[in-house]
């Protein structure tokens, strides 16, 4: 059973763009590439050079077809990526919604294809009529043209982002341990002590609010242990300089 959609490049013009699309696909674990009537023929050495290494296997297994009908013949559902074609009565999806639909269909055992048009003109209406739905990226209406590889990258990312292991935020801060609450509390104590000595908390009736704001600031920062120690050291050095 297929585990991801087929990326179908319709009449691609430049080998470099085919290679870049293959790299974009493999970045997100997709490897089913189909080419419809590539302008410069196939195989294309410029595509291989741009694919750079591992992505070359995507090109090695790419299917080549004479027309769109042949490329989508085994697909149960086809998306066409285009900023145009709104005059055709088809559902229009954002990339996120389209790839959610694609995942559901593939999970149900269907084969899904995604059409991408030529670099200069995009898909023609005759191509779009072969699709069941349209994908339109919500971009700047004054500059809506996407590079072919960019469009493939965006779609591949949306398909894979719910399946690849990743966390929205890395709490480890690239391997540095976060300071615990006690360490942050002691830093706050140190600052309050020094600020008291410097007469910072004035007027007196505002001191509780000022201290509370400082405490809130320290906990909001999410500091590492090394950063806490650096601030302790900075305070101690400042006091030495004042006492000299």
Out of 93-102, 164-173, 179-188, the most confident range is 93-102
Given this model, what pLDDT does residue 241 score? 60
- On the question of pLDDT at 121 being above 80, the answer is yes
- On the question of pLDDT at 122 being above 70, the answer is yes
DSSP H/E element including 209: helix 207-221
Q: What is the DSSP string of 64-125?
A: EESSHHHHTTT-SEEEEE-S--TTS---EE-HHHHHHHHHHHHHTT--EEEEE--TTT---H
173 vs 209: which has the higher pLDDT: 209
Given this model, what pLDDT does residue 78 score? 95
Q: Considering the domain delimited by 6-161, tell me its CATH architecture.
A: 3-Layer(aba) Sandwich (3.40)
Task: Decide: pTM greater than 0.95.
Answer: no
pLDDT tens digit sequence for 182-236: 888 888 889 888 888 888 888 988 888 988 888 888 888 778 888 888 888 888 8
Pairing of strands 112-116, 6-10: parallel
pLDDT tens digit sequence for 8-55: 999 999 999 999 999 999 999 999 999 999 998 888 889 988 887 778
CA 42 to chain centre: 30
Given this model, what pLDDT does residue 238 score? 83
Which band of pLDDT confidence, cut at 50, 70 and 90, is reported for residue 151?
very high
- On the question of pLDDT at 167 being above 70, the answer is no
Out of 77-86, 127-136, 166-175, 233-242, the most confident range is 127-136
Given this model, what pLDDT does residue 56 score? 84
Delimit the domains of the chain by residue range. 6-161, 181-240
Q: What is the mean pLDDT of the chain?
A: 86
* 6 token code pair: 């087929």
198 vs 113: which has the higher pLDDT: 113
Residue linked to tokens 């995604």 = 114
Given this model, what pLDDT does residue 86 score? 57
- On the question of pLDDT at 172 being above 60, the answer is no
């Amino acid at each position: 059973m297929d585990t991801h959609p087929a990326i179908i490049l319709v009449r691609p013009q430049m080998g470099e763009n085919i290679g870049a699309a293959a790299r974009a696909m493999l970045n997100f674990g997709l490897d089913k590439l189909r080419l419809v009537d590539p302008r410069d023929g196939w195989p294309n050495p410029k595509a291989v050079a741009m694919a750079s290494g591992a992505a070359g296997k995507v090109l090695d297994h790419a299917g080549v077809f004479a027309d769109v009908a042949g490329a989508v013949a085994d697909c149960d559902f086809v998306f066409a990526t285009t900023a145009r074609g709104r005059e055709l009565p088809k559902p229009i999806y954002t990339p996120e919604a389209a790839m959610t639909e694609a995942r559901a269909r593939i999970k149900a055992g269907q084969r899904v294809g995604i059409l991408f048009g030529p670099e200069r003109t995009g898909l023609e209406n005759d191509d779009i009529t072969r699709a069941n739905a349209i994908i339109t990226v919500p971009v700047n209406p004054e500059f809506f043209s996407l590079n072919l590889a960019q469009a493939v990258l965006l779609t591949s990312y949306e398909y894979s982002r719910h399946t690849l292991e990743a966390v929205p935020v890395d709490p480890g801060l690239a391997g540095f341990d976060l300071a615990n609450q006690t360490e942050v509390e002691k830093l706050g104590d140190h600052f309050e002590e020094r600020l008291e000595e410097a007469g910072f908390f004035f007027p007196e009736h505002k001191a509780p609010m000022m201290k509370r704001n400082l405490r809130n600031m320290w906990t909001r920062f999410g500091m590492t242990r090394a950063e806490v120690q650096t601030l302790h050291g900075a305070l101690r050095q400042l006091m030495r300089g004042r006492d000299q």
